[in-house]
Amino acid sequence: MTASLAMFSVTVVVPCRDEEVNVVAAHQAIVGELGEHDVEVLFVDDGSTDSTLSLVTGIAAKDERVHYISFARNFGFEAAFSAGYKYATKPWVLHVDADLQGHPSEAHKLIAAASDRVDAVFGVRDQRDDPLLRRWGSTMSDLIARRALGIELPPGATTFRLVRTGVARRIVELRRPAPYFMASLPAVTDRYVTVRTAHQARRAGSSKFTVVRLARHALDLYVGHSTALATGAALLLCAGVIVSILAVALLGVIGTAAGVTALLFTQLAVLPTMALLLRYSVMASSRDGRALYYVRESDLTIDDADRLQLERVTVGGGAR
């Protein structure tokens, strides 16, 4: 049965970092478009250094549908949506970025596509209104991931998505080396669909997705979700070591210049490969022993394991 447009129970998760120019407009747009539904709005403040948190707490004080979680520092985009998904109280979660590039007015299309046979609905941009370099980078990253490395991704999917809350939580609980949601979802369910949605340019503030950050995000996707890449890197490293040993052993035969040249070119391949494998090892080990985030402040009941415990300091018999 298709989800009813008349009443839908959903938590709108809004990750935000330094979005003081956008959070009020984001709240107005969300409740303006989805206020007829059983809606909860959950802002996740990812260590903002501006007035984002004070604005969000002010909104929450006036609108009982609004709640917030504030991190102890900047833990990253993946941590922000993970916390939102964990503490959402409604059966579905709708991910809306504070910059409103995926506008809540388009959420009706996602809701219309939800059904008993669907666990996730992803928005696919009709026409992406982003800088050319970012569009090209995303396209190349997607091609490398899906075509070259065999990573299953919903084609064209964006962070503008509607997911069953239980499924979203299960994906977060996987604790994969790279918490890349769209690559983790196929490990849990194949019941997902995509719908075309309009996309608009950021109207205020600056994007947090720099070229360097996007490149690192792509690398983490490749390393954390592709066994082919890790296997290939290990084989290349072994081959490089063998070639290096042979070059040293045959210096007297092939000559010093040729041997040094062979060693140089081998190291150019070996060193990046070692860095890649080290990155994978660090990612895998850190996900086992490090919390994804710590919450400093929230109007929700937060698990002790997720909360930054602040001890009160006692001075001269009094507390401060």
164 and 42, same structural domain? yes
19 and 103, same structural domain? yes
pLDDT tens series, the chain, 320 aa = 344 445 799 999 999 999 999 999 999 999 999 999 999 999 999 999 999 999 999 999 999 999 999 999 999 888 999 999 999 999 999 999 999 988 999 999 999 999 999 999 999 987 665 556 566 666 677 777 777 777 788 888 889 999 999 999 999 888 665 667 888 898 899 999 999 998 776 666 566 556 566 666 666 777 666 665 655 655 555 666 666 666 566 655 566 666 566 666 665 666 566 555 555 555 555 555 567 899 999 999 999 999 987 654 445 544 44
281 and 169, same structural domain? no
Q: What DSSP assignment string belongs to 73-86? A: S---HHHHHHHHHH
240 and 190, same structural domain? no
Cα-based distances in Å from 289 to 1, 82, 166, 282, 284: 42, 17, 24, 11, 9
145 and 23, same structural domain? yes
192 and 228, same structural domain? no
Identify the CATH number of the domain in which residue 192 sits: 3.90.550.10
Q: Is the residue at 313 inside a domain?
A: no
Q: Is the residue at 251 inside a domain?
A: yes
Looking at residue 214, what is its pLDDT? Answer: 66
Q: Is the residue at 2 inside a domain?
A: no
**Domain extent for 233:** 224-289
Q: Is the residue at 215 inside a domain?
A: no
Angle at 194 between CA 189 and CA 195, to 5 degrees: 155
Structure tokens given for 308: 């930054």
Looking at residue 187, what is its pLDDT? Answer: 85
83 and 20, same structural domain? yes
198 and 129, same structural domain? yes
Classify each residue of 129-151 as buried b or exposed e, where b means 16 or more C-beta atoms within 10 Å of its C-beta: ebeeeeeebbeebbebbeeebeb
Classify each residue of 239-265 as buried b or exposed e, where b means 16 or more C-beta atoms within 10 Å of its C-beta: ebeebbeebeeebeeeeeeebeebbee
143 and 13, same structural domain? yes
84 and 18, same structural domain? yes
In this structure, the dihedral spanned by the alpha carbons of residues 97, 169, 115 and 111, taken in order and rounded to 10 degrees, is: -10
Size (the chain), residues? 320
CA-closest candidate to residue 85, choices 27, 34, 11, 35: 11
If one counts the domains in the chain, the total is 2
List residues bridging with 42 in a β-sheet. Answer: 13, 67
Looking at residue 320, what is its pLDDT? Answer: 42
236 and 112, same structural domain? no
What is the tally of helices (H) and strands (E) in the chain?
Answer: 11, 10
Cα-based distances in Å from 40 to 37, 92, 122: 9, 10, 20
Stated pTM of the model:
0.75
273 and 237, same structural domain? yes
Looking at residue 2, what is its pLDDT? Answer: 43
CA separation for the pair 288, 267 (Å, rounded): 32
Q: At what angle do helices 23-34 and 52-62 cross, to 10 degrees?
A: 30
The β-bridge relationship of strands 38-45 and 120-125 is: unpaired
